[in-house]
């Protein structure tokens, strides 16, 4: 990191960048520099303007004011084509690849010049893809169809495209939100290689550990303004949080206050051939938070989908409050008092055209508004409560879902299921993509719900969260539950179980 030359001229710089959406001022004159060979983190609360800044850099949105200098050219805005031409590449959290084409075809389409008369050299295309995939450390066959790949693998394909295109600036907007530790480490290795090759990486994440492990500098945004750029060796976690939210936030987990009561949910040998889940047995009591840990692909989300009637079980027995449960559809599960907040809420959660209030109440319409006519007032009241409790940054309950930042959309979809007042609440990655302040708020709410007697299943790849929140921790591997550990177990014990290493004696 030693700066050899006195002032290396930045790869990219933004001056006084401003952007409004209608009346919302997303960016209010932000300065930002990216150097060659640095990982520059962008940090800020949900709605602070991070994604907006990225959209300006990738040419997806045009700034209302300000200028951007890339590769010695000063412009008052970019287009996606120009950004690409200037060596700017963006790795999205949900990669934008063609699912029915092979990996090599996708890479070819991105990198080879287009033209109707062009003949494809399949051999060369294949070799190039293989070489790029190797460069990012991916063991992916170039001939594999993209839809057979996991999200993290698709992300690596995107990075391979960026490297192949000779990108000098690589932008990553929350790339690790759905990665496990291992996949995350692989991604970090690739990012470090990019840095070593002189690429400038802009890296958005809400996970501070990650920023400290990876980034050289960090720029903190608050309410559309930059509140400073710092070397990571000159700031602390607490200091960054304070910069970000303007106050201290305790990063401690709320203590368990409830003594778990009667079993609410019981599974005996549950399986579903179609989703690869088999032989799952455990129970969850009223007032208990049952954490589910495991690697991506271990079957955690599949288990949730069985319980919610999305992929019905074809083996074993489930009981809810001592009555047999075999939901064949989500409405059946909802009618039995089950709520499921899915992961990847960015794609499955919020209806972008619909007002926030309706987004929040759509799962409870029949119960809350039997006659229909009271709907407006009751809906607004409920929405205002959730907007306040979850600190959702919005103009109000009538704003469309699509006007919210990513993290605030996630809070809306959480609110929708909390509004159903379920007996069993299944949360899949409940705090993925939300900022530290909102995260501790969501933890407090989950604890409160458990205290009120709800049974909670909390699936999470965030190990500190699983350890800090769970009364007991179920670990899944290879489609089944392989261990149940007491809450407060050491991280190493949970990881070992998730990886299938030798059962260690539990020191707890």
Ligand X SMILES: Nc1ncnc2c1ncn2[C@@H]1O[C@H](COP(=O)(O)OP(=O)(O)OP(=O)(O)O)[C@@H](O)[C@H]1O
Enumerate binding residues for ligand X (CB under 6 A).
21-22, 24, 26, 44, 46-52, 393, 402-408
Nearer to ligand X by Cβ, of 46 and 470: the residue is 46
Nearer to Mg ion by Cβ, of 51 and 266: the residue is 51
* Minimum distance of ligand X from residue 322's CB (angstroms): 41
* Minimum distance of Mg ion from residue 32's CB (angstroms): 15
52 binds, among Mg ion, ligand X, none (CB under 5 to 8 A by kind): ligand X
Residue at shortest CB range from ligand X: 407
Nearer to ligand X by Cβ, of 222 and 423: the residue is 222
* Minimum distance of Mg ion from residue 65's CB (angstroms): 21
Residue at shortest CB range from Mg ion: 51
24 binds, among Mg ion, ligand X, none (CB under 5 to 8 A by kind): ligand X
* Minimum distance of ligand X from residue 469's CB (angstroms): 21
Report how far apart, in Å, the C-alpha atoms of 432 and of each of 128, 298, 407 are. Answer: 35, 18, 8
DSSP summary character for residue 248 = -
Residues in contact with 185: Cβ distance below 8 Å, sequence separation at least 6, in sequence order: none
Percent helix / strand / coil, the chain, rounded to 5: 35, 25, 40
Nearer to Mg ion by Cβ, of 51 and 431: the residue is 51
Angle subtended at Cα 162 by Cα 159 and Cα 166, rounded to the nearest 5 degrees: 140
Nearer to Mg ion by Cβ, of 46 and 258: the residue is 46
* Minimum distance of ligand X from residue 409's CB (angstroms): 8
63 binds, among Mg ion, ligand X, none (CB under 5 to 8 A by kind): none
Do the beta carbons of residue 137 and residue 281 sit within 8 Å? no
21 binds, among Mg ion, ligand X, none (CB under 5 to 8 A by kind): ligand X
Report how far apart, in Å, the C-alpha atoms of 273 and of each of 13, 193, 299 are. Answer: 53, 41, 12
* Minimum distance of Mg ion from residue 52's CB (angstroms): 8
Interactions with Mg ion, residue window 46-75 (CB under 5 A): 51
Nearer to ligand X by Cβ, of 206 and 278: the residue is 206
Do the beta carbons of residue 216 and residue 38 sit within 8 Å? yes
* Minimum distance of ligand X from residue 457's CB (angstroms): 25
Nearer to Mg ion by Cβ, of 172 and 267: the residue is 172
Interactions with Mg ion, residue window 381-410 (CB under 5 A): 406
Nearer to Mg ion by Cβ, of 44 and 164: the residue is 44
Nearer to ligand X by Cβ, of 22 and 371: the residue is 22
Do the beta carbons of residue 306 and residue 330 sit within 8 Å? no
Which long-range contacts does 391-396 make (Cβ < 8 Å, 24+ apart)? 391/437, 391/438, 391/441, 392/356, 393/45, 393/46, 393/47, 394/356, 395/23, 395/24, 396/356
Do the beta carbons of residue 12 and residue 82 sit within 8 Å? no
48 binds, among Mg ion, ligand X, none (CB under 5 to 8 A by kind): ligand X
Report how far apart, in Å, the C-alpha atoms of 157 and of each of 238, 381, 408 are. Answer: 35, 46, 28
Tell me the Ramachandran region of residue 392: left when phi exceeds 0, alpha when psi lies from -120 to 50, beta otherwise: beta
* Minimum distance of ligand X from residue 489's CB (angstroms): 31
* Minimum distance of ligand X from residue 20's CB (angstroms): 8
User: Exposed, middle or buried: residue 100 (CB in 10 Å: 0-12, 13-18, 19+)?
Assistant: exposed
Report how far apart, in Å, the C-alpha atoms of 447 and of each of 209, 249, 334, 430, 436 are. Answer: 24, 17, 21, 13, 17
Report how far apart, in Å, the C-alpha atoms of 80 and of each of 26, 55, 87, 89, 152 are. Answer: 20, 9, 11, 10, 24
CA distance linking residue 5 with residue 23, whole number of Å: 44
Nearer to ligand X by Cβ, of 21 and 122: the residue is 21
* Minimum distance of Mg ion from residue 111's CB (angstroms): 28
175 binds, among ligand X, Mg ion, none (CB under 5 to 8 A by kind): none
Binding-residue pattern over the window 14 to 53 for Mg ion, x denoting contact by CB under 5 A: -------------------------------------x--
304 binds, among ligand X, Mg ion, none (CB under 5 to 8 A by kind): none
- Report which secondary-structure segment, H or E, holds 108: helix 103-111
Interface residues toward Mg ion, by CB under 5 A? 51, 406
């Amino acid at each position: 990191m030693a700066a050899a030359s006195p002032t290396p001229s930045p790869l990219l710089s933004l001056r006084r960048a401003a952007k409004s959406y209608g009346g919302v001022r997303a960016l209010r004159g932000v300065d930002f520099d990216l150097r060659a060979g640095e990982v520059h983190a962008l940090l800020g609360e949900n709605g602070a303007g991070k994604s907006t800044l990225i959209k300006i850099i990738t040419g997806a949105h045009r700034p209302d004011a300000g200028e951007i200098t890339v590769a010695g050219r000063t412009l008052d805005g970019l287009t996606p084509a120009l950004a690409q031409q200037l060596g700017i590449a963006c790795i999205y959290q949900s990669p934008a690849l063609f699912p029915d084409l092979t990996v090599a075809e996708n890479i070819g389409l991105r990198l080879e010049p287009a033209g109707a008369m062009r003949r494809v050299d399949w051999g060369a295309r294949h070799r190039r893809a293989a070489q790029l995939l190797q460069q990012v450390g991916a063991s992916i066959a170039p001939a594999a169809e993209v839809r057979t790949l996991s999200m993290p693998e698709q992300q690596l394909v995107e990075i391979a495209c960026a490297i192949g295109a000779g990108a000098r600036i690589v932008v990553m907007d929350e790339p690790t939100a759905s990665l496990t530790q291992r996949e995350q480490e692989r991604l970090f290795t690739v990012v470090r290689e990019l840095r070593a090759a002189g690429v400038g990486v802009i890296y958005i994440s809400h996970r501070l550990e990650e920023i400290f492990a990876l980034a050289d500098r960090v720029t903190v945004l608050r309410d559309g303004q930059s509140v400073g750029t710092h070397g990571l060796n000159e700031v602390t976690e607490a200091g960054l949080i304070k910069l970000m939210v303007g106050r201290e936030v305790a990063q401690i987990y709320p203590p368990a206050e409830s003594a778990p009561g009667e079993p609410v949910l019981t599974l005996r040998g549950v399986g579903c051939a179609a989703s690869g889940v088999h032989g799952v047995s455990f129970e969850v009591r009223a007032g208990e938070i049952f954490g589910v840990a495991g690697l991506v692909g271990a079957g955690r989300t599949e288990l949730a989908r069985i319980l919610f009637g999305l992929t019905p079980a074809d083996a074993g027995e489930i009981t809810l409050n001592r009555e047999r449960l075999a939901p064949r559809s989500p409405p059946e599960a909802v009618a039995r008092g089950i709520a499921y907040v899915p992961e990847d809420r960015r794609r499955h959660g919020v209806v972008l055209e619909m007002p926030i209030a309706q987004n929040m109440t759509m799962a409870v319409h029949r119960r809350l508004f039997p006659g229909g006519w009271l709907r407006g007032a009751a809906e607004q009241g409920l929405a205002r409560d959730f907007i306040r409790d979850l600190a959702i940054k919005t103009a109000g309950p009538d704003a469309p879902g699509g006007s919210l930042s990513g993290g605030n959309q996630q809070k809306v979809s959480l609110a929708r299921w909390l509004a159903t007042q379920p007996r069993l609440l299944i949360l899949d990655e409940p705090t993925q993509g939300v900022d530290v302040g909102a995260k501790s708020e969501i933890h407090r709410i989950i604890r409160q719900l458990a205290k009120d007697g709800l049974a909670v299943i909390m699936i999470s790849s965030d190990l500190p969260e699983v350890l800090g929140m769970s009364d007991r921790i179920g670990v899944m591997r290879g489609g089944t539950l392989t261990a149940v550990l007491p809450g407060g177990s050491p991280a190493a014990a949970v990881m070992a179980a998730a990886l299938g290493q030798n059962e260690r004696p539990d020191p707890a």
